[in-house]
Amino acid sequence: MTNSRNTAVKILKKVLHNNAYSNIVLSEYLNRENLDRRDRAFITEIVYGTLRYKYTIDSILNSFLKNGVGKLDEDILNILRISIFQLRYLDKVPEFAVVNEAVELSKRKSFKLSRLVNGVLRNYLRKRNIVGFGQNGDKIGRLCFKYSFPRWMVELFISQYGEGVGETILKNSNIVPKITVRINSLKADYKQVWNKLEESGYDVERGTLCREALIIKKGSSIESNSLFKRGYITVQDESSMLVARIMDVKENMTVLDLCSAPGGKSCHISELMGDTGKVYACDLHENKLALVRENADRLGIKNIICNKIDAEEYVEQFQGISDRVLIDVPCSGLGIIRKKPEIKWTKNKNSINNLIKIQRNIMINASKYVKKSGKLIYSTCTLNKMENDENIRWFIGKNPQFKLEKINCGDFENIIYNRGGYMTILPSENVDGFFIAKMIKYR
């Protein structure tokens, strides 16, 4: 029988030490190993929870390890991490069971180190209520410990959004996300899908921002459901859904999606256009375009044309042909930490600065493909204003033939509208953080 905690340790090693994507490696292990539903849920909870609270967990461990976490064996460290997560953040697992399982698991690596594991965990249990973890730092340090974020990221959110909004971003980025699906208007209507899901035992509710959004509050894997397999629904966050809605697409338009994979927005655009016109879905990697084709086929979409191109490089055939050009550019992903908590530990300031150059190259290149009176839509899943607001101001300054067109999706507590017209969506219980700007080409 597969040991759930051992599987979690293996997954964490790949994510934290081999830079693997949590969702991909988790899916690989869950599909490969003989696990029942409860084990799958437990592993998922431990992996994402440990990634989410790694800063806080490591700070605690540093209090009990003479040489700190940096010199500890990777497997032993991850055994300790998942154990502190369970002891601090879960109340459904008995404390003695957490400690015993950790010790037995560490014995496979080293009997000597198993004694260390036992000592650290029991020491934590004795002192957790009398040691003021994280209470002695400055204001930023306390926020780092409370919400488990690296210092540079806390400083970025506080400096760009102020203390109140900045702390809300930190807090909401730790919310465990629900699954949101988009109803495919080419195949089904909203009520039909709602009823079918309820009949299948799902607890559902209406989306917050988009009329075609439906939130899965409780239920089995949605991608195993026949409605998903038959293309009636597709998994997509509501913030991402808003992009296609904001583009104002109409039947028989020509639309270019320069950074398309895995195709969620391209397919949504096609649905809104009634599968008419042309949607050019482009990506740098052929294997990612295969995902676009797979999604389009499942959803019954025929008007998507896939193209393997580099969004930074000019392609003459696209010069001035598009009614709408979407650039959902590569970004730091600071708005989707709810779903990919390892972003806290895999991003840094230098990597963001490198991204800004790429984003601006894509913007300039994409602008050449927009026809007169056409629109250029810029979106990211980050909350970093250097990649969002500052990029838009830079682009408009360099390209006076484009002007911002105001976006208004209604009054929501988590949406910030800039006077210039673009919008920032803050992470909340049901949506990821996102940024969208729409620019019209006047000449």
pTM: 0.94
Helix axes 74-89, 4-18, angle to 10 degrees: 120
Q: What is the pLDDT of residues 249-306, one digit of tens each?
A: 999 999 999 999 999 999 999 999 999 999 999 999 999 999 999 999 999 999 999 9
Domain 4-127: CATH class, spelled out: mainly alpha
Query: Does the annotation place 283 within a ligand binding site?
Result: yes
Domains of the chain, by residue range, sit at: 4-127, 139-172, 238-441
Q: What is the pLDDT of residues 95-118, one digit of tens each?
A: 999 999 999 999 998 888 999 999
pLDDT of residue 252: 98
pLDDT of residue 2: 56
Q: Residue 262, preceding bond cis, omega within 30 degrees?
A: yes
CA distances from 106 to 15, 68, 73, 109 (A): 20, 18, 11, 5
Query: Does the annotation place 264 within a ligand binding site?
Result: yes
Q: What is the pLDDT of residues 398-431, one digit of tens each?
A: 999 999 999 999 999 999 999 889 999 999 999 9
pLDDT of residue 1: 39
Region 344-358: mean pLDDT is: 90
Query: Does the annotation place 263 within a ligand binding site?
Result: yes
Question: What is the homologous superfamily of the domain 238-441 according to CATH?
Answer: Vaccinia Virus protein VP39 (3.40.50.150)
pLDDT of residue 230: 96
Per the residue annotation, which of 210, 267, 282, 381 is the catalytic one?
381
Query: Does the annotation place 262 within a ligand binding site?
Result: yes
Q: What are phi and psi of 399, to 5 degrees?
A: -135, 75
Q: Of 42, 141, 29, 120, whose CA–CA distance to 77 is shortest?
A: 120
Q: What are phi and psi of 15, to 5 degrees?
A: -75, -50
Q: 267 an active-site residue? A: no
